[in-house]
Amino acid sequence: MKKIFLVISIAMFTFVGKAYAEMSYGISGALTNIDASGSETEGGERSTADANNTVLIPSIFAEYAFSDTISLGLDFIPLKADVSNKTKSRTDTETSVSGNTATTSTTRNQSANAELKNHVTLYANYSFGGMFAKVGVAAVTLDTAESLDTGANYGNEDIYGGVIGVGMQQDNHRFEVVYTDYEDISLTSTVARTGVTNNNKIEADLDTVAFKYSYVF
């Protein structure tokens, strides 16, 4: 899906570029707050948690201006960003019982985190009165980074989100605030916990707020 997303974006730029546009490039730095809330269902037991992280994220972009008021752009983040600045860890102890006697005890170490990578945003800016409004669509890969002694694996997921923002530009300097609300995430583990027939499941909601500076060439 992400490849299709990029192909469509490139095709749009190629078409409109030949007909109308002036092209510009830029580099950006965004102080970004990543906020996630979700739940994990494990063996019929459901637990909830929140994760929050603030990171400085660079990006590069290309942009076509149809006129003095409307432009279309494609922004790419070349680095990864952790969803949380902490790794969730716990120790599970499983004990087999025969009658009233514990026969075996197994301690399992579980740790999990996630990171965002290959982030692409297709957006449009509308300028008015020295400012501009932004709307767009973002695509990103959620890369789970779990280390589970049970052997479970949640895999990765491409997710999409809606983008809105507002900003201003003076000469080559651009300042903006951008909010991205991603679609709900649902991941199911590949291996169930010992003695449990249903695989574990994670559901989460993710959004970001970025305070962004760009230099436009």
User: At 205, which CATH number?
Assistant: 2.40.160.20
Q: How confident is the model at residue 72 (pLDDT cuts 50, 70, 90)?
A: very high
Name the pTM for this structure.
Answer: 0.75
Handedness of CA 88, 54, 57, 180 (dihedral sign): positive
The whole-angstrom separation of Cα 112 and Cα 137 is: 28
Domain count, the chain: 1
- Domain encompassing residue 46: 2-85+113-216
Distance CA 143, CA 134 (A): 27
Inside any domain, residue 104: no
Is residue 136 included in any domain, yes or no? yes
Report the relative pairing of strands 22-42 and 45-65 from DSSP bridges: antiparallel
Q: In the predicted model, is pLDDT for residue 37 greater than 60?
A: yes
Residue 92 belongs to some domain of the structure: no
Instruction: For tokens 């580099």, name the residue.
Output: 27
pLDDT in tens, 164-176: 999 999 999 999 9
Q: Does 10 map to a domain? A: yes
The whole-number pLDDT of residue 183 equals: 92
Q: How many CB atoms lie within 10 A of CB 37?
A: 14
What confidence tens digit (pLDDT) does each residue in 96-117 have? 555 555 555 555 445 556 777 8
- Alpha helices (H) along 20-153: none
Q: Report phi then psi at 192, rounded to 5.
A: -80, 155
Residue 206: name the closest of 186, 189, 177, 188 by CA.
Answer: 186
Answer whether residue 190 is part of any domain.
yes
3-class state of residue 13 by DSSP: helix
Q: Report whether pLDDT(123) > 80.
A: yes
